[in-house]
Structure 1
Amino acid sequence: MAALTQFLAALTPQPFVNPENYDGLEYRWKFLVFRPALFQREAFLLAALLAYVAFFLLGRWSNTRKATKWRDAHLPLLEQQFSRPSHWVQDGYSDFFNFSTGRRNVASLHAIFALRPRHDFFQWAFQTLRTLVDLQYRPKDSLQLDFKLLPGTLVHDFVWAVVSKDELLSVKDGRWDLTFTKTSENSALPQKFSVMSEFGDVTDGVLKAFPLTKILEDPKIAPYFCSLSITDQPRDRPTKPLKPSDYEKHVILSLSVPSSSRAADTAGAVAALFPFVDSLSKIALRPETKNKLKKIREEIEKDIKLESERDKKEEEAEALEAKKAAKRKAEEERIAKLSAADQKKILEKERKRSIRKQQGKVAAKK
């Protein structure tokens, strides 16, 4: 209690003491007197508040402008490719979404902006300071173009990606599907990129179906390209077996968001993705590769099913134990309300029952 009293006392502002002898700057108007020198602390607090508000407004404007400029620069392309090209949604001041639908081979396109929290000084400062401690931590403005494919667009089931080498340490964060792959080099691609593939045959099939080098060698896209992936698996590991209808196939392009003045630099790469998606049906794999891919997925399905059954049994056991505990507590509360004589009878009855159980166990052992 004493510690709490001291803490509250420390938070309580000191009472104002009006000095009798004041020779500083003073403003008078009738009976009102304002002496600036007596409000230095308040002036600093007000300045800090105004700076925080200015930081918030400037950061909000910067993020909104960055996302809007990118959308406006790519809107003609989206209008050309989709019958319903643009549904813009903003969540807070750093997350923006654009949804397009109505195109052959593509069920939908989600453009997902995750910008730095420039409107929140404390989050921004935390990210900035963390970069000084963790050299691998590099916060950035990211954009994902997630093409959900229509059934039949991608005939085979596989996971494949081409990744900028700068992103290899972080590319699997939040992407369980990419754990299916192994990382390797490929002479058909520029040296700054690596391939993540389940089998070499998959890589050969993808590169033969579409000349990806044209996209990757574009000097405009190079500063912003993070990864391009094809996947038949969910991003997060399922907690229970999925139905065949629950599986979706996606093509996902991950970019760093260009500055507002360079928003159109990624338009060429985005435009090239549409013929890339259309070419996926041309990918050919050897029969043995298709069998291996199928076997891998059957094993994963089996593991997920076993984990799901084990988790279900654990949940049922915990629920049963909780039910027993609640029953014991209710019985103890009932007994506590009885008279001392009735409680003694119940305890004696429990003691005799315990003795009989012990005698039964001894007889069974003999």
Structure 2
Amino acid sequence: MSLFTKILGGLSPPPAVVPEDYDGLEYRWKLFVFRPAYFQKEVWLVAGILLYVAVWWIGSSKNKRTANKWLNAHFPIYEQQFSKTDSKYGRLTADGYSDYFSYCTGRRNIASLHTVFAFRPRHDLFQYLFQLGRQVMDLQYRPKDDLQLDFTLAPGVLSGDFVFAIVSKDELVTIKDSRWDLTLTKTTDNTQVPTTFSVMSEFADVTENILKIIGPLIEDQKIRPYFRSLSITDQPRDRPSGPVPAGEREKHVILNLEIPPSSQLGVTAAFVAGLFPLIDSLSKVHLRPETKTKLRRIREDLDKELKADAEKDKKEEAEQARQDRKAAKKKAEDERVSKLSAAEQRKHLEKEKKKAMRKTQGRIVQK
């Protein structure tokens, strides 16, 4: 027997043991025999894979179909308001199977509009079941499909620097966790807004001026089941790593909605259409001089705090880097010493002891 034959024999799997007394269901075709009773575990495995694929297909299709339906119902408004409504990827851009985006630009007073759909992970069976389980355990956790219209205002549209929002009371528990800019505001009830909404504002002067513009828009009762928040802000939504120069601060009008069913898409269409004259009216907002002074001081103090935090983080990173270099140097020295002979290691230890004693004596003399 040649060496090659021995190698092949060692690599070949042992022959399958098929009992002759099998009396179950079997399928024969020429030389092939299939006996289902021997593949019970495999059946469950294949069924699980097919279930996962089916959930992925149905869930991802539903998310994309919902985004397209909403966008198609509102796209005539976009085309009427903007000169450019399509990106190189088309109307709708996908980022995975639960996030979709649309971009518009080319309008007076509005630099751009990002329409962002954030759906529940219906395409991922395990992640979706995790959300359901967490929802049962945590009563404050309410995952929803989120729709955000982020209007970036053109420079000069809004003269004042402030943060203001009207928020559904159902969102008050969690909104400050996802919106750092709203942590600058105080939450109050206001008779000029529906009882299901709250006002988040820095000063009463800001509230009075903005409600004159927004008031008529939010009085529509049909929008209330789908309304989550409407904010005007000069600050980033996430806490910045350092102070943002005044000339680089973008001002935004941000609308968050729940996506309504197909039969109610006209409700949000009317509300979205009303946002454009609202944005055009923001140039008429004139705050009192003392309010502007207070807002400017708040932002100066905020910049100092952000700068101090940034410097602290840099010092911590530098100290950590120094500690890492010191640890690496010590490790390399320990490895070098471990390779020495026993006599050389004793000499090294004596040398280190003398060095430590000199340092100790130097500290005592200085005292």
**What is the TM-score normalised by the length of structure 2?**
0.87
- 1:1-366 map, 5 Å: 18-87=18-87, 88-208=92-212, 210=213, 212-337=214-339, 343-365=345-367
Please say if residues 78 and 86 of structure 1, whose CA atoms lie closer than 8 Å, have aligned partners that are also in contact. no
TM superposition shift of 1:19:
4.8
Q: Distance in 1 between matches of 2:35 and 2:344?
A: 80
Aligned residues, how many? 349
Contact 1:90–1:96 (CA under 8 A) maintained in structure 2: yes
Distance 1:25 1:326 in 2: 67
> SS of 2:286's equivalent?
coil
3-state SS of paired residue (1:285): coil
In structure 2, runs of 5+ residues without a counterpart are 1-14
Amino acid at match of 2:185: T
Deviation at 1:90, TM superposition (A): 0.4
* Percent identical: 59
Work out the CA distance in 2 between the residues paired with 1:344 and 1:52: 65
TM-superposed deviation, 1:344 = 4.8
Post-superposition shift, 1:53? 1.6
Question: Residue type matched to 2:66 in 1?
Answer: K
How far off its partner does 1:342 sit? 5.1
Alpha-carbon separation, structure 2, partners of 1:29 and 1:243: 78
> 1:11 maps to which residue?
none
Secondary structure of the equivalent of 1:226?
A: strand
RMSD: 2.3
1:36 positional shift: 3.6
CA drift of 1:214 comes to 3.2
Deviation at 1:92, TM superposition (A): 0.7
Q: Deviations over 1:75-108 (max 9, x none)?
A: 1111111111133310111000111111111111
Amino acid at match of 2:304: K
Change (3 A) 1:31 1:345: closer
Specify the code of the residue in structure 2 equivalent to 1:45.
L
Contact 1:147–1:252 at 8 Å: present in 2 too? yes
**Which residue identity lines up with residue 66 of structure 1 in the other structure?**
T
SS at match of 2:175: coil
Q: Say which SS state the counterpart of residue 258 (structure 1) adopts.
A: coil
| Structure 1 portions without partners, runs of 5+ | 1-14
Distance of aligned partners of 1:28 and 1:101 in 2 relative to their CA distance in 1, 3 Å threshold:
same
Counterparts of 1:149 and 1:326, CA distance in 2: 51
CA distance in 1, matches of 2:360, 2:22: 91
Instruction: Determine if contact 1:190/1:213 at 8 Å carries over to the other structure.
Output: no
Larger CA deviation: 239-248 vs 26-35: 26-35
Q: Which amino acid aligns with 1:128?
A: L
- 2:361 and 2:228 map into 1 onto residues whose CA distance is 72
**What's the CA shift for 1:362?**
2.9
TM (normalized to structure 1)?
A: 0.88
**Cα gap change, 1:351/1:27 in structure 2, threshold over 3 Å: closer, same or farther?**
closer
